[in-house]
Chain A
Amino acid sequence: MSSIEERVKKIVAEQLGVKEEDVKPEASFVEDLGADSLDTVELVMALEEEFETEIPDEEAEKITTVQLAMDYIKDNLG
């Protein structure tokens, strides 16, 4: 079983079509990884599926970086 960090990284890389080594914790989906608004919605959908959870829209809007995604998953599924 891989760690939450690894799973989040893998999903971000897959969804945004970037290399896993570029998925650094501080990376912003839009500014650093080239995501558009639809990409970020799909990314949240993919995280919901991977971690079998539902992320409310108002929380989803705040998840703008890799670290914030990891934190959200840890805090809510920990």
Chain B
Amino acid sequence: MSLMISLEGKVALVTGASRGIGAAIADMLGSLGATVVGTATSEGGAEKISTRFAEKGIKGAGMVLDVTSAESIAGLHAAIKNDFDVPTILVNNAGITKDNLLMRMKDDEWDSVVETNLSAVFRMTKTCLRDMTRARWGRIINISSVVGSMGNAGQSNYAATKAGVAGFARSLAAEIGSRGITVNTVAPGFIDTDMTKVLPEAQREALLGKIPLGRLGQPEEIASVVAFLASDAGGYVTGETIHVNGGMYMT
């Protein structure tokens, strides 16, 4: 058996695909032959994704999605079916942070992070699951964070949702394994994206000291793990959380 990853003939849906890790995942799945729908929160963002796909010779399109709106999700799902085919690879990547010390955290900071990072995973997955059970094949991959396992001061809301999606994945994996559907979680460490660019230089240096590989990860290094899980090569991995963090947190 040789390791050949091809996603030809599959339709993949990647939320939050306009930049960072989501963009790298969408591009990687596309480069392996999948038809990819990458979502963005604005029309402009969706157009940029479409343009990027066209430049890279990737089949698919960018589409607008508000992951907190059931209506928006239903509309997107119908559009994907209409334009392409049913998506059987779902990558729940869209996420936000609203950091604050718990004693100062407002209800809105808690609620909006839970809505976008956790409740949206429930809604997206439920929407796509019917087609996957019918196809007797499916891949659901949640993007979590190392913070969901090790915790981080000022991120209790974010950490709760990132631990939450991993528990969600384990339960769902047990529920639908008999239908040929795998559900996994990928937990990135500190990756070189807009989300980590805002860190102060001193904090960045301190962080690097805790990473055995001595550098931040690249978005493509998360995307390649997602691609493996999405492919037939990763078909016996389910309910698992795969940490990709340069060794800063080892389980």
Contacts and interface: CB of A to CB of B under 8 A. Distances in A.
Q: Does B associate with A?
A: yes
Interface of A: 38, 42, 45
A71 to B, nearest CB: 25
B176 interface: yes
A39 B130 CA distance: 12
Contacts of A45: 130, 133
B130 A38 contact: no
A45 B179 CA distance: 15
A13 B235 CA distance: 29
B43 interface: no
Interface in B103-148: 130, 133
B178 interface: yes
Contacts of B179: 38
Nearest to A46: B134
B196 to A, nearest CB: 40
Nearest to B175: A38
Interface string B160-192: 000000000000000110110000000000000
The 5 closest A-B pairs by CB, nearest first: A42-B133, A45-B130, A38-B175, A38-B178, A38-B176
A42 B175 CA distance: 13
Contacts of B133: 38, 42, 45
Contacts of B175: 38
Nearest to B178: A38
